[in-house]
Structure 1
Amino acid sequence: MRAFFIIVCCLSIQTVVAGNRQSQITSLPFEMVGTYVVVTVHINTSTPLRFILDSGLSNTMITEVGPADSLSLHFSDKVRIKGLGAGRTVEALVSHGNTLEVGRMRFVNQTIHLLTEDLFNLSELTGYSINGLLGSDFFQDHVVQIDYNKRRITFYESSSFEVPRGYVAVPLTIRQQKMYTEVLVKQEHGKPRKATVLLDTGAELTAWLHLYGENELTLPGKTIYGYIGEGINGPITGHFGRIPGLYVGGWKLDRPVVSFPDSATIVDMLRDEAREGTLGSQALSRFHLIFDEPNALLYLKPNHRHRRPFNYNVAGMDMIKQSEAPFLPLIYHVREGSPAHKAGIQSGDLVVTANNMNGFSTDINLLRGLMDKPTHTPLRLTLLRNGLTIEATVLMKDELGD
């Protein structure tokens, strides 16, 4: 209890005990795809479009438009987009003065970026039709509650909002419409260290931290090196491993898997932003969240996911769901030295079955769930490679285990 008290004091938070009277404006449902929050959006007079809520992005970004989508935008400029990753230049067309409708909420005079090339493949990555990323404009001017249990987003008037009992208030710093806060990182060696992180509902990871600067963060004793994910400007590589704890608003996330990107893949961020990392959706989805951006506060308390173990890609292979025949999951990356690599699996293989689950009809997120859990029972795959059927057995050993 003493350690918890010390950590709470270090992070300058307070427990809210106010009443539960609230000035609700409206409420709308969302879908959970993995740990992404997906909402339906109308842009001007468009057909319904589906966007991932991305608090780490200043403006809304359209990444793909399908044959059945109808959308009218007027473009005034072209810009280069900077983000994480290395190896490519990204351009987007810019459209100003747009109206976005999400449920009964209307957001006027919105700036939208349209990628000139779909680099994210969000539909294939998630297995659902996704048109883009809904930026942090969504959080301006109102109090916004995200309830991952009920899968609802509720908007309140900022001026008269009263926080429900039991929430902890965490100060935010707002820069370029993005929200930052401090977390406490418990390391294997050395004292706990504060880190300023971006709150990013559009990053499907627990957190990433960089090892440079004044915070003296160190790698865990056991790490895996390889592909972490895809950034706007290219692949992100680095180490990932378990740390003893990550404290958000005084609440401990126990033994989370945290990524430590190579400096070359985060160089633009290091130059342009005063932060040490990102807190992603796999951490944020473990809390009831109330974003009070007008008053620079985040209110949170744990939900039923809070104590779930943190998993990672044990098998070491990444998949997308093909949108064209034969509509099977395509393995597009295999980490060198991983269990999948040792089993002979190659980039370009198609997954016919995984533990008798049909690759054609099974939600790709359920298939990924098989890859993310260490088990004593091998993962058995039937693969299609160059027209030939191949059987593979993957030993799901936890390389980050004690």
Structure 2
Amino acid sequence: MALNKMKKWFVLLLISTCLGLSSFSQDKFIIQNNKQTEKIKFKLINNLIVFPVEINGVTLSFLLDTGVSKPIIFNFLHVSDTLLTKNTETIYLKGLGGGEPVKALKSTQNIFKIGDAVKIDQDLYAIFNNDLNLAPRLGIPVHGIIGLDVFKDLIVEINYSKGFLKLSNPESYKYKRCRKCEQLNLEFYNGKPYVNAKVEIENKKIPVKLLIDTGGSDALWLFEDDSLGIKSSEKFFYDFLGHGLAGSVYGKRSKVRSFQFNSFVLKNANVAFPNAENVFSATQIKDRNGSVSGNILKRFNIIFNYKKASMIISKNNKFRNSFSYNKSGIELAHNGFRVLREIKNNSVKVNATTEASNDNIIKTNHYKISLKPAYAIVELREGSPAAEAGFKTGDVVLSINGKSSHEFTLHQVMQMFYADHGKRIRLRIDRDGEILNLSFNLQKLF
């Protein structure tokens, strides 16, 4: 009798183990802990979410991007050599920008871990285009981007106010009651989420369908369409808008009177109207009018449920922050390192030898050699205050308002250019070995 019970127990244990292995081996992300949920801290840099992802045992920094359907690493960093990627083949990917499709290396059977969220058979795409290096423009290492594969498998909460992601298995997820929340319906094209909103342009409220793009740092991109009334006001300026897979994107920057998600209304929101030739492929998606990105999304805490095609939003402490923009005309990027020789003072105490003598302090100078980040001008808007003051692309910034540039993060330096109209900015620069002191006032454009 005892033997039969032992056999029965063994059979049940074997079935349970097999079921566990079966669920673990599924081709999707699953939270592998008892709580069925995992919290991941992230950094919000230039309105973008940067968080750790482990691939084949190597921990990297990724952007969370609802606008991408494939996980991508930037292979010029030689990351794929470390990842031991398998079963590779060459393909070509198309994206925003005016260039040709970019070459990528596809590999399969990669193991991805985001905290306790695990997927053991993940495709991965390595891109060799140096222009897609995000690290210099963000000032921190960024090795890749990931989107659809996380969102389609899990409930994803983005808490912009506290800086964490909460990932949950859909089967065990329970919504909390929220009286001040709004639920928005999602539509999907090629695995990317779209949402309906309204914009107010020249006293006309216009319904728009927008890609939700957590991988974009701007507030709002709209595709100009005179028939719908989607066009820039008379107050605008031309600017560099960003990099896509296929090259740089340029266009107009302006304001809309309001942006609206159901009952939530944001006044005087920033908007960009990209040049049509830079976003041609995006405009081919039926009824798409543009994108809503980080500078608007960060004002909400968001719960994405792709399986139910829903998005629940609530205001956070960033909601009432005013929309600002770069009033200098300068875009900076991390440009390697500068070698600095810093004086290090050492004081040596010499004891007195007679009663009449005082203790003597002998000072000696030693030099400490260190590497500090260098920030260079990579984009300069024509006619901007910085351009009029004589700055040029390639100038390396040594100091800002009398303080060494390496004492700031790149993000902190760029934030100075978003300050109030009229603020004086003094920059000391290195131009091919020539040291120059130039200055300008930030200029309000609308």
What's the TM-score once normalised by structure 1's chain length? 0.89
Aligned to 1:349: 395
Aligned to 1:310: 323
Aligned to 1:386: 432
State how far apart, in whole Å, the 2-side matches of 1:121 and 1:36 are: 15
Check conservation: 1:206, 1:258, Cα contact below 8 A.
yes
Q: CA deviation at 1:123?
A: 1.3
1:247 maps onto 2:260 in alignment: yes
Check conservation: 1:334, 1:341, Cα contact below 8 A.
yes
Check conservation: 1:24, 1:154, Cα contact below 8 A.
no
Question: How large is the RMSD of aligned CA atoms in angstroms?
Answer: 1.9
Asked which structure has the greater CA Rg, the reply is 2
State how far apart, in whole Å, the 1-side matches of 2:257 and 2:96 are: 26
Instruction: Return the match for 1:178 from 182, 185, 192.
Output: 192
Alignment of 1:2-401 (within 5 A): 25-45=37-57, 47-64=58-75, 66=77, 70-159=82-171, 160-165=173-178, 166-189=180-203, 191-212=204-225, 215-272=228-285, 274-325=287-338, 327-400=373-446
Aligned residues: 376
State how far apart, in whole Å, the 2-side matches of 1:60 and 1:163 are: 31
Q: CA deviation at 1:75?
A: 4.2
Check conservation: 1:51, 1:133, Cα contact below 8 A.
yes
Q: CA deviation at 1:88?
A: 4.1
Higher strand share: 2
State how far apart, in whole Å, the 1-side matches of 2:75 and 2:336 are: 13
Structure 1 residues 77, 66: closer, same or farther in 2, change over 3 A? closer
State how far apart, in whole Å, the 2-side matches of 1:108 and 1:164 are: 34
What's the TM-score once normalised by structure 2's chain length? 0.80
Check conservation: 1:137, 1:177, Cα contact below 8 A.
no
Structure 1 residues 303, 378: closer, same or farther in 2, change over 3 A? same
* CA shift digits 1:315-371 (9 cap, x unpaired): 011110123445310101111011111111100101111123321231000000011
State how far apart, in whole Å, the 1-side matches of 2:376 and 2:87 are: 35
Check conservation: 1:75, 1:93, Cα contact below 8 A.
no
* Structure 2 residues without counterparts, runs of 5 or longer: 1-34, 340-372
* Structure 1 residues without counterparts, runs of 5 or longer: 1-22
State how far apart, in whole Å, the 2-side matches of 1:304 and 1:251 are: 14
State how far apart, in whole Å, the 1-side matches of 2:61 and 2:318 are: 25
Q: CA deviation at 1:272?
A: 4.5
State how far apart, in whole Å, the 2-side matches of 1:109 and 1:205 are: 33
Q: CA deviation at 1:161?
A: 2.3
Once structures 1 and 2 are overlaid, which stretch shifts more, 291-300 or 106-115? 106-115
**Aligned to 1:119, what secondary structure does the other structure show?**
helix
Q: CA deviation at 1:214?
A: 5.2
Structure 1 residues 370, 49: closer, same or farther in 2, change over 3 A? same
**Aligned to 1:138, what secondary structure does the other structure show?**
helix
Structure 1 residues 145, 164: closer, same or farther in 2, change over 3 A? farther
State how far apart, in whole Å, the 1-side matches of 2:177 and 2:135 are: 36
Q: CA deviation at 1:65?
A: 6.0
Structure 1 residues 163, 118: closer, same or farther in 2, change over 3 A? farther
Check conservation: 2:259, 2:267, Cα contact below 8 A.
yes
State how far apart, in whole Å, the 2-side matches of 1:209 and 1:222 are: 16
Q: CA deviation at 1:121?
A: 1.9
Counterpart AA for 1:100: F
Counterpart AA for 2:428: T
Q: Say which structure, 1 or 2, has more relative contact order (CA 8 Å, 6+ apart).
A: 1
State how far apart, in whole Å, the 2-side matches of 1:205 and 1:77 are: 34
State how far apart, in whole Å, the 1-side matches of 2:119 and 2:226 are: 38
Amino-acid identity (%): 24
Structure 1 residues 34, 357: closer, same or farther in 2, change over 3 A? farther
Higher helix share: 2
Check conservation: 1:97, 1:110, Cα contact below 8 A.
yes
